[in-house]
Amino acid sequence: MPNQNIRTQSNLLETLNSLGIQAPHVLAYDCTSDNAIGVPFSLQTRLEGQGLDVVYPELTLTERLGMASELIRIMVAIEKIEFQHSGRLFCSSSVPARKTVGDADDSTFSENPIVQGFGVGIGLPESKTNTRTTSSLQELLSTQLDTWIQLELSNPRRAFVADMFRRLKKIYTEMEELNFFQERPSLTSNVLYH
């Protein structure tokens, strides 16, 4: 079975590059095990320079401020990538299952993003219980908590966990009553987030 995470992540990195956001370039990927190394893989360039953890102590105050400014610029650029609904992003099935070094980039993630509910449970997205997509933080919290409660109630040995989610749902209800979710752009916009 093809590894959809590799396809989606590779496609997203290429799209970020096309939008001017510095990210590794994907030279090749294969979502299948039908290749020379026998496992799905993604071959990416490494961003230039050294790790921040290595060089940070040696930076001057001006360099540190410049680095902080660049980080803010990148975060603002990423947050400008908005979607109608919240959820996990997947690339279209029209994106090929493999790319070899030198292949042209025909598709971009931004052309056909598929937004699916975040899901609940553990493991890979395919093994999780699906949830529906939502358009606001309020709807997302309510949907996810209700789905977690139902999932945990389906296993009688998980009553403690179900009670924990019920308590979270009570907190959510109190937040609603306190108008925490009143119309604010930060609560109704769905932006790209890692």
The answer on 87 and 125 residing in a single domain is no
**Which is nearest to 109 in space by CA: 98, 94, 124?**
94
Q: Structure tokens of 2?
A: 């093809």
The pLDDT of residue 111 is above 70? no
When the pLDDT of each residue in the chain is averaged and rounded to a whole number, the result is 83
How far apart CA 120 and CA 117 sit, in angstroms, is: 9
What is the reported pLDDT for 42? 92
Beta strands at 26-30 and 41-44: parallel, antiparallel or unpaired: antiparallel
What three-state secondary structure class fits 166?
helix
The answer on 80 and 151 residing in a single domain is no
> Number of structural domains, the chain?
2
What is the reported pLDDT for 185? 65
How far apart CA 179 and CA 163 sit, in angstroms, is: 25
What is the reported pLDDT for 112? 55
The answer on 129 and 98 residing in a single domain is no
Phi, psi of 34 (to 5 degrees): -85, 70
The answer on 62 and 142 residing in a single domain is no
Domain boundary among 116, 140, 174: 116
Mean pLDDT of 150-177: 87
Mean pLDDT of 100-124: 67
| pLDDT band of 14, cuts 50, 70, 90 | confident
The pLDDT of residue 10 is above 70? yes
Domain boundary among 65, 94, 116: 116
Give the count of beta carbons closer than 10 Å to the beta carbon of residue 54: 9
Domain boundary among 116, 138, 173: 116
Which H or E element spans position 191? Answer: strand 190-191
The answer on 91 and 44 residing in a single domain is yes
What is the reported pLDDT for 124? 65
The pLDDT of residue 110 is above 50? no
Q: Of 23-32, 60-69, 109-118, give the lowest mean pLDDT range.
A: 109-118
The pLDDT of residue 62 is above 90? yes
The answer on 94 and 66 residing in a single domain is yes
Q: Which residue has the higher pLDDT, 61 or 48?
A: 61
| Domain around 42 | 1-116
The answer on 124 and 87 residing in a single domain is no
Rg (Cα) of the chain, in Å, rounded? 21
Q: Of 68-82, 95-109, 117-131, 177-191, give the lowest mean pLDDT range.
A: 95-109
